[in-house]
Amino acid sequence: MAVLIKSADDKQHDLDALTTLLMRTDLYASTRQRIEQEIRNIRAGLAGEREAAYEIDFHYGDSDKLMVIHDIRIEVDGRVAQIDHLLLDRLLEIWVFESKHFAEGVGVNEQGEWVAFWNGKSHGIASPVEQNRKHMVVLNEAFDKDLVKLPRRLGVKLKPRLRSFILVSSRARISRPRSRAAAARVDGLDTVVKVDQIATTIERQIDQTSALGTLGSITRLVSMGTLEDIGRQLVALHRPSQVDWAARFGLASVAATPVAAMSPAASVARAAPGQSCASCGSFVSPKVAAYCEANAVRFAGRVLCYDCQRRPSNG
């Protein structure tokens, strides 16, 4: 009985769109570098997801006890969870996997600050543990708001228990604090595992749950039909992302309005070489564009003119 409910979406259209942007003649060198980095990021992410998906499908793709979902994006009240992999079992345990592909490895210090290693150097990154925790918050909201109809026992809704795991390439190193005491203080560090350890880790947790043998666990047991229904309801919530890559990098669309139909200000922006403001379309000088790129987090990766930078919604 095959239980692979959903495979990963095809990301080739994003790569094609970004490759097309690189062919434009109005790019600053810094913008070209950002686009090239985005392409590398997508390809690295796909490599990590494929490696993890292979291991999950190899061990559980034909299981008669578990359900598998790859690459699902859920929106609840304006918040988004882009989840790489889900694994569901009949005790309504759901493993939520965030797969990361680090070429040389990943590390964390005693303060819980994360780095990725590249070309022999460390570069600060957002905590993958916190990232996956946010995904789980959105997933829990979907259950709380009855976007997924859950089974009931004695009138009580059986809510799934979520378990977070961060999957790292089997060839990458994981640098942890030297002492066990320091490592224990880093929240979620024990959830970071290499992809080739997925089956061992999950089986260990399943054995621990079975060893408890509590009545509570038994009363949570659902049929495979019910489990599959829950999985398909989750997939029905999937909303693939639609990225306007030109706008993401502050570039005017190629299929823009003809110059003759534009306002004078917009005509200047269209005719001038370089970038345009992602908010109002006005021309952005190289100096202002460089400032936006240096503050990409603040401006959500957009290039904004000086006036639009000062707007509260863009700050």
Lowest mean pLDDT among 209-223, 225-239, 298-312: 209-223
Residue 92 confidence (pLDDT) above 90? yes
pLDDT given for residue 281 in this prediction? 66
Lowest mean pLDDT among 16-20, 235-239, 261-265: 261-265
Residue 265 confidence (pLDDT) above 50? no
Q: What are phi and psi of 284, to 5 degrees?
A: -120, 125
- Token readout for 119 is 């070309």
The predicted model gives 104-132 an average pLDDT of 89
Residue 94 confidence (pLDDT) above 70? yes
Q: What is the pLDDT of residues 10-66, one digit of tens each?
A: 999 999 999 999 999 889 999 999 999 999 989 989 999 999 999 999 988 778 889
Percentage of residues in the chain with pLDDT exceeding 70?
Answer: 87
Dihedral sign computed on CA atoms, order 58, 230, 64, 136 = positive
Amino acid 102 reads F
Highest mean pLDDT among 173-187, 202-216, 281-295: 173-187
Could you tell me if 67 and 231 are in contact, meaning their C-beta atoms sit under 8 angstroms apart?
A: yes
Highest mean pLDDT among 2-11, 46-55, 306-315: 46-55
Lowest mean pLDDT among 131-145, 232-246, 285-299: 285-299
Question: What single string gives the DSSP state of each residue in 87-153?
Answer: EEETT-EEEEEEEE--SSEEEE-TT--EEEEETTEEEEE--HHHHHHHHHHHHHHHHHTTSSPPPEE
Q: Which residue has the higher pLDDT, 312 or 31?
A: 31
